Amino acid sequence: MSPLAIGALIGIATLCVLGTGIPIAFGLGIVAVAFLMIFEGLNSLNFLAETLFSGLNDFTLVSIPMFVIMGAAVASSRAGSDLYEVLARWLNRVPGSLVISNIGACALFAALTGSSPATCAAIGKMGIPEMRRRGYSADLATGAIAAGGTLGILIPPSVTMILYGIAAEVSIGKLFLAGVLPGLLLTALFMAWALFISWKRGEKLIDADRIYSLAEKFELLPRVLPFLIVIAGVVYALYGGIATPSEAAGVGAMLCLLMVVVIYRVWRPMQLWAILNDGMRESGMLLMIIATSILFGYMMSSLYVTQSVAEWIAALDVNRWVLMGLINVLLLVAGCFLPPAAIILVTTPILVPIISSVGFDPLWFGVILTINMELGLITPPVGLNLFVINGVAPDVRLPTILRGALPFMGCMILAIVLISMFPGIATWLPNALI
Amino acid sequence: MKSFAELIRQASRISGMASVLLILVAVVVVCQMIFVRKVLGQSSIWQTEFVTFALIAATFLGAPYILLTRGHVAVDLVPMLLGHRARVVLALVASVAALGFCLLVLWNSLFWWHEAFAGGHVTSSMWRARLWIPYLAVPVGMGLLSLQYVCDIWALVTGRDLPFGMKPEERL
């Protein structure tokens, strides 16, 4: 059987196995083991445990649990609400200030965590009820947070980019920097849409029910500033060449844990344990998916599928932008069903040689890929952010959240087009600084 | 069987605690490593390997607890579209398949671990860590994960647990 036919079979088998509702980590493992056994014999399984272990035996991966703990610490405290409250007080004379504050708080919170659902939950808990109380419609309130939350994986630090960096052998520091301007662009696009739709629907644009005094505006700053200083510290350690991403993330995690204890008085052992327990559950789930995705990648490569698919696509000889369009569609469809970690580890070894051979920059592609993954987070059936929002605001039905999130998806597609037209948005900053 | 299931659940919780502690120790060691290197100006010998191994162990030891608390992400589109009875069948198929994978990894990891133990394999770094210690997390984690799956399947068959944690009336 030709490697391409085997590739098609693998695709169908993966869909069928994951369709049973089996945990993705084990589903990918089963497909990998089954195909290795059928095409390479039982002996190919001699290295099963070793492949899983050595897939995780990489110091760069250490940054993932560290950033997850950092996010879990911040998310467990009132930091998200405070961040939002500070912005709301400072911006309350600006039209559409509440939605803008929420999206802004999401962007800032994203800089503290590498995870989208964590961003959604932390800002949404306070932001959604407040927006609805002040008369914003449910779809706009929930849609803005679902979309704002996706900034978590574009604005550094980002778990998605760490994995892409490992799989594509691109500098993670450079990737993080490449996400900054697109992250800000997307934040601006989200805010612009929120403003436009509020104006069009005739929703109250000025939320100045009351005017905040300077004292009130400064009151919360001391609680939020330390977190902003940690962000600055982690960024400085990373780009100043003082620490690798894993080391910077480790120190960031420790500092965030300490700040949650000192500033938010989360000092009871049970409370601290809950933070670590949450962090362990999320990072354990992610690392298990990573381990079996690497096994899956090993199977594809040893059956020569990865190489054959890459050669086949290269031989199609289509215009490189048509090719990029097709890759985007493929990633979008995959994003609707699979979490970013699995998609990146399975597709990057196939896609990066192709995009490099037609002259695209793998650094730039990392950003495009991440925005695609963001889209997947707010599209059913596996849109993780949609379910988080559903948990935060249980009375808002899923279709309503989806209706609210749809225009923000349009903003993301627009961002992909803009970054494709002007690749400098992604590549200028890392090339200028590193 | 009921008390056996409770015993396994308890073991999964303890394993989860060990996983949390390993992550906490890893965070502390990363900070200690930076202190030793940047402040004391000494080179770090064991820290990089220790932290990586601790987190791999945390992943395998935490897996049974994550399964117990339904933390492993899955695509539940098809189950959401089905009725209760079909859902039970699908959940059984999924759990038995996952159990098969875990048993296979367990079986293979026992030989792999024993080879490292009997052969006295060590890492190639200056630290020369004995590899059977971090390797042990794979058979222990996978063994407990398999037992946790057996309990889940039993709870599903006897109607103690709902398939995919969904109520019968829950539909897409």
Q: CB-hemisphere CA count at 13 Å for A297?
A: 22
A252 touches chain B (CB under 8 A): no
Question: How would you write chain B as a 3-class SS string?
Answer: CHHHHHHHHHHHHHHHHHHHHHHHHHHHHHHHHHHHHHHCCCCCCCHHHHHHHHHHHHHHHHHHHHHHCCCCCECCHHHHHCCHHHHHHHHHHHHHHHHHHHHHHHHHHHHHHHHHHHCCCECCCCCCCECHHHHCHHHHHHHHHHHHHHHHHHHHHCCCCCHHHCCCCCCC
Tell me what pLDDT residue B20 has: 96
Provide φ and ψ at B122, rounded to 5°: -130, 165
Q: Determine the Cα–Cα distance for residues A38 and B80; give it in Å rounded to an integer.
A: 32
Residues of B in contact with A285 (CB under 8 A): 66, 71-73
Nearest beta carbon to residue A281 from set B53, B71, B112: B71
Give helix A79-90 / helix A63-76 axis angle, nearest 10°.
70
CA A279 to chain centre: 16
The residue written with tokens 């009820």 in the block is A129
Interface contact B93-A242, CB threshold 8 A: no
- Closest approach of A373 to chain B, Cα-based (Å): 16
Measure in Å the smallest separation between the Cα of B168 and chain A Cα atoms: 16
Amino acid A207: pLDDT:
56
- Which is more confident, B72 or A291? A291
Suggest the residue from A31, A53, A282 to mutate for an interface test with chain B (most B CBs closer than 10 A).
Answer: A53
Q: How far is CA A371 from CA A99, A164, A175, A282, B139, in A?
A: 21, 13, 13, 21, 38
Q: Report pTM.
A: 0.89
B7 contact A CB<8A: no
End-to-end CA distance of chain A: 47
Contact (CB<8Å) A382/B77: yes
Cα–Cα distance measured from residue A339 to residue A357, given in angstroms and rounded to the nearest whole number:
27
- Asked whether the predicted pLDDT for residue B137 surpasses 90, the reply is yes
Residue A375, C-beta contacts closer than 8 angstroms, at least 6 positions apart: A150, A332, A335, A409, A412, A413
Q: Tell me, what's the pLDDT at A185?
A: 95
> In chain A, whose CA is at the least distance from the CA of B86?
A20
Tell me which chain B residue has its CA closest to the CA of residue A23: B74
Range list of H helices, A378-397: 384-392
A116 touches chain B (CB under 8 A): no
Give the residue from A111, A51, A72 showing the smallest Cα distance to A290: A51
**Between chains, do A66 and B27 touch, taking CB under 8 Å as contact?**
yes
Say if B150 is an interface residue toward chain A (CB within 8 Å). no
For residue A224, give the H/E element and its range.
helix A221-239
Tell me the chain A residues in contact with residue B117 when contact means C-beta distances shorter than 8 Å.
none
Q: Is A337 an interface residue toward B (CB < 8 Å)?
A: yes
Residue-level pLDDT at B44 = 84
**Is residue B55 pLDDT above 80, yes or no?**
yes
Cis status of the peptide bond prior to A381, with omega within 30 of 0: yes
B101:A33 CB<8 A: yes
Instruction: Indicate yes or no: CB of A49 within 8 angstroms of CB of B108.
Output: yes
Q: Is B86 on the interface with A (CB under 8 A)?
A: no
* Contact at CB, A283 and B48, closer than 8 angstroms: no
A276 at interface of B, judged by CB pairs closer than 8 A? yes
Phi/psi of residue B74, nearest 5 degrees: -140, 160
- Does B153 contact A at CB distance below 8 Å? no
Predicted local confidence at residue B76, as pLDDT: 78
- pLDDT reported for residue B171: 63
Q: Which residue is it, tokens 């704002």? A: A148
- 8 Å CB contact of A22 and B51: no
So what's the pLDDT on residue A318? 84
In sequence order, which residues have a C-beta less than 8 Å from that of residue B84 and are 6 or more positions away?
A: B163, B168
In sequence order, what DSSP letters do the residues of A230-253 get, joined into one string?
HHHHHHHHHHTTSS-HHHHHHHHH
| CB contact set of A141 (below 8 Å; sequence gap of 6+) | A99, A127, A128, A131, A132, A393, A404
| Chain A contacts in chain B segment 36-65 (CB below 8 A) | 38, 48, 51-53, 55-56, 58-59, 62-63, 65
Number of Cβ pairs < 8 A linking chain A and chain B? 180
Any chain B CB within 8 A of the CB of A238? Answer: no
Neighboring chain B residues of A287 at a CB cutoff of 8 Å: 55-56, 59
Q: CB of A120 within 8 A of CB of A146?
A: yes
Nearest chain A residue (CA) to B142: A49
Does the beta carbon of A385 lie under 8 angstroms from any beta carbon of chain B?
Answer: no
Give residue A204's pLDDT: 61
List chain A pLDDT tens, one digit each, 434 residues: 888 899 999 989 998 999 898 998 999 999 999 999 999 988 888 899 999 999 999 998 998 899 888 888 888 877 777 887 888 888 777 777 788 888 988 888 888 777 788 788 888 887 888 888 877 888 888 999 999 989 888 888 888 899 999 999 998 889 999 999 999 999 999 999 988 888 887 766 555 566 778 888 788 888 788 888 887 888 777 777 778 888 888 988 998 899 888 888 888 889 899 999 989 998 999 899 999 999 998 999 899 888 888 888 878 878 889 989 989 988 888 888 788 888 998 889 889 988 998 889 999 999 999 999 989 888 876 677 887 888 788 888 888 888 899 999 999 999 999 999 999 999 999 888 87
pLDDT for res A156: 85
How many residues are given for chain A?
434
For A280, which of B16, B56, B72 is closest by C-beta distance?
B16
What integer pLDDT is reported at residue B85 of this predicted model? Answer: 87
| Residue in chain B lying closest to A43 (CA) | B108
How far does B63 lie from chain A, in Å, by closest CA?
7
Q: What are phi and psi of A356, to 5 degrees?
A: -65, -40
CB atoms within 10 A of CB A107: 25
